[in-house]
Every structure is written in structure tokens, then in C-alpha cells.
């Protein structure tokens, strides 16, 4: 048996054991079912989980038996809701089901402590956000959303700042000094990638970026590494013009490798322009393409 086959078999066995353990901890009455008199095992039966999740009994049974079947994101979401999995458990479920790109910190910020969201709100009108180790946007405040509408308006799984900066046309990309900032961003990603060697999600992410952007592929091949830090960033907005900001990055304890980034104006004029955008959230960045539709 090859190493890859052995790994897949071990992952399926772990998935089967995990699903059984989560199923057995839920009482029927917790989900509106009668407790019944002849239950040989604690918790829900397989057919009850399948019924509540809206999937076939045979399919779910095979999933719990560790058989080699494919599970879509939608089906796993339904099972996760039925089994009342928290954020960490859902992440574990997706990884075991070989959907690691979905297992990364959720784009709606649900894995973050409530205090982090409070901090982001309190920082308004300073733009502030939370990034993952590969520049996934996990949470943000209103000021950030006004400045970076081209990112926050994307569907959850496409809110990646590096991807957007590399693939947006110049008219829609707010970052002016890309020549200085992109090598730094790629070097920061490369340093984080070293902690995820062999992770399919990270490998596919880098391959996708390389295919979409020859510029990224060239910089990635240079093997430069860097840490997040204080950076000067120049942004443009069609409604107010140039905005000079300093970005300050601060690591969070959890989820792993996440960081808060706060953007502070470098001069009074930039501060006034940020204040104006905060008062006019309807202002689209790009007059040619407008604000992207919500996903």
C-alpha cells in the first residue's frame, strides 16, 4: 500500500470514529425526537442523523463506516449542523473529509473571540481587520469595508487579499504601491507556507495563485521570507483620491496564525479622506465596475 493510500485510509477511519462520537453525544430529545425505549447505544441513530441532515441513510452509513465516498461542502455543512459541531469540530470534519481548503478559519470570523469583533468595531474610523496566515480576510470593521470593498463584497471563500491584489485590474485595486508591497506579502506567505508543508489546502492555494499570476510565480520562486510588520501603504479611491496609511500587524492567540491589522493615516489629509469614506459607505471604489455583487 502506498503512503498516500495509507493516509487516506487512516483519515477515513478517523472520520468514521469522529462522526460516531459526535452522534452518540446528542440525545434524541435535544433535536425534537422522542427518546424511545429500545436504544442499544446512546445518542442518535444513523438513520436519524441522515433524516435530520437530509441525506440518504445508506450514504451516511457508508460515511460512518469509512468507505471511500465523496462528500460535498453542502452535505458536510448539513451534517455539522445536525451534530451541533462547533467551529473547531467543523474544521476537523472538513479536514478528515479531505476538504482542507474549507477547514481553514471561516471567512465570517466565527472562530474569533467576541472580544476581537468588539475591538474591530471600537477602532472605527480606523480601518482594521483580521487576516489568516495566507491573507484570508476573516473579519473587518466598517471603515475597512469602505476602503476595501473589492475584497469584503466577495463570497466567503474568495475573500483573500493577496489573490485580489494579484488578479484585480488596476482600476479596481486600491493598492497603489504594489511594486513595493507585493514582494513583502509573498515573502510573508512563503514564511507561513513553511509551517504547512504537505498541507493540501496550502499547496493548492499556491498552485492556483501561480497559475493565475505569472508575477506571483516569479516572486514565489525567489524563496524570499519575511514577517508581518509595520508597513507604509498607499491607497487610491475614486471618490477621494490618494490615502496614505501605515499598517500595523499584531498577532492573535487564536485561531493559530491570525493577526489584527490596523491602518492609521500618515497625514491629516489622509485622515479626513478616511473620515469622508466612513460617512459615505455607498461610494464605490471603481467608477467603471462599481462594487462587486455580494456572494
Length reported for the chain? 295
- pLDDT score of 245: 95
Rounded CA separation 110/93 (Å)? 16
- The Cβ of residue 220 has, within 10 Å, a number of other Cβ atoms equal to 18
pLDDT digits (tens, 9 = 90+) for 233-266: 898 888 888 999 999 999 998 788 899 999 999 9
- The Cβ of residue 101 has, within 10 Å, a number of other Cβ atoms equal to 17
Which whole-number Å values give the CA distances from 161 to 22, 152, 177, 217, in the listed order?
Answer: 35, 9, 15, 17
- pLDDT score of 218: 95
Question: SS3 of 36, please?
Answer: coil
This model's pTM is above 0.85? no
Distance from chain centroid for Cα 56: 30
pLDDT digits (tens, 9 = 90+) for 127-164: 999 999 999 999 999 999 988 888 888 877 778 999 98
pLDDT digits (tens, 9 = 90+) for 161-189: 999 889 887 767 788 888 889 999 999 99
- The Cβ of residue 95 has, within 10 Å, a number of other Cβ atoms equal to 20
Rounded CA separation 21/26 (Å)? 9
Q: 221 pLDDT exceeds 50? A: yes
Q: Are 163 and 209 in contact (CB under 8 A)?
A: yes
pLDDT digits (tens, 9 = 90+) for 102-124: 555 444 556 788 899 999 999 99
- pLDDT score of 269: 95
Region for 32 from its dihedrals, namely left if φ exceeds 0, alpha if ψ lies in -120 to 50, beta otherwise: left
Cell of residue 186, nine digits: 509573498
- pLDDT score of 106: 44
- The Cβ of residue 69 has, within 10 Å, a number of other Cβ atoms equal to 12
Mean pLDDT confidence for 274-288? 73
- pLDDT score of 87: 72
- pLDDT score of 25: 87
- Nearest in space to 206 (alpha carbons), one of 160, 249, 251, 169: 160
Q: 282 pLDDT exceeds 80? A: no
pLDDT digits (tens, 9 = 90+) for 50-92: 888 888 999 888 888 888 777 777 788 889 889 988 877 887 8
pLDDT digits (tens, 9 = 90+) for 15-58: 888 899 888 888 887 777 776 656 666 788 888 888 888 889 99
- pLDDT score of 293: 33
Q: Are 116 and 143 in contact (CB under 8 A)?
A: no
- pLDDT score of 121: 95
- The Cβ of residue 105 has, within 10 Å, a number of other Cβ atoms equal to 24
- pLDDT score of 6: 65
Amino acid at each position: 500500500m502506498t503512503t498516500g493510500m495509507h493516509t487516506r485510509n487512516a483519515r477515513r477511519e478517523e472520520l468514521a470514529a469522529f462522526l460516531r462520537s459526535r452522534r452518540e453525544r446528542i440525545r434524541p430529545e435535544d433535536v425534537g425526537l422522542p427518546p424511545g425505549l429500545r436504544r442499544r447505544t446512546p445518542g442518535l441513530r444513523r438513520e436519524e442523523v441522515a433524516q435530520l441532515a437530509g441525506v440518504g441513510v445508506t450514504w451516511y452509513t457508508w460515511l460512518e463506516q469509512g468507505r471511500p465516498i465523496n462528500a460535498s461542502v453542502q452535505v458536510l455543512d448539513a451534517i455539522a449542523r445536525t451534530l451541533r459541531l462547533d467551529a473547531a469540530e467543523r474544521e476537523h470534519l472538513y479536514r478528515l473529509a479531505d476538504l482542507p481548503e474549507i477547514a481553514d478559519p471561516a471567512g465570517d470570523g466565527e472562530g474569533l473571540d467576541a472580544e476581537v469583533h468588539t475591538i474591530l468595531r471600537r477602532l472605527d474610523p480606523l480601518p482594521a481587520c483580521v487576516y489568516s496566515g495566507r491573507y484570508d480576510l476573516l473579519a473587518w470593521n466598517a471603515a475597512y469595508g469602505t476602503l476595501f470593498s473589492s475584497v469584503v463584497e466577495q463570497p466567503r471563500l474568495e475573500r483573500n487579499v493577496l489573490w485580489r491584489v494579484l488578479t484585480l485590474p488596476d482600476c479596481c485595486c486600491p493598492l497603489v504601491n504594489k511594486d513595493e508591497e507585493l514582494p513583502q506579502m509573498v515573502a510573508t506567505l512563503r514564511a507561513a507556507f513553511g509551517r504547512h508543508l504537505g498541507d493540501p489546502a496550502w499547496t493548492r492555494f499556491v498552485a492556483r495563485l501561480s497559475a493565475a499570476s505569472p508575477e506571483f510565480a516569479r516572486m514565489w520562486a525567489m524563496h524570499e521570507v519575511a514577517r508581518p510588520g509595520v508597513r507604509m501603504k498607499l491607497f487610491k479611491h475614486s471618490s477621494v483620491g490618494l490615502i496614505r496609511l501605515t499598517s500595523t500587524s499584531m498577532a492573535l492567540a487564536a485561531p493559530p496564525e491570525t493577526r489584527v491589522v490596523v491602518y492609521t493615516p500618515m497625514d491629516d489629509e489622509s485622515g479626513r479622506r478616511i473620515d469622508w469614506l466612513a460617512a459615505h459607505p455607498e461610494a464605490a471604489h471603481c467608477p467603471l465596475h462599481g462594487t462587486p455583487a455580494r456572494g
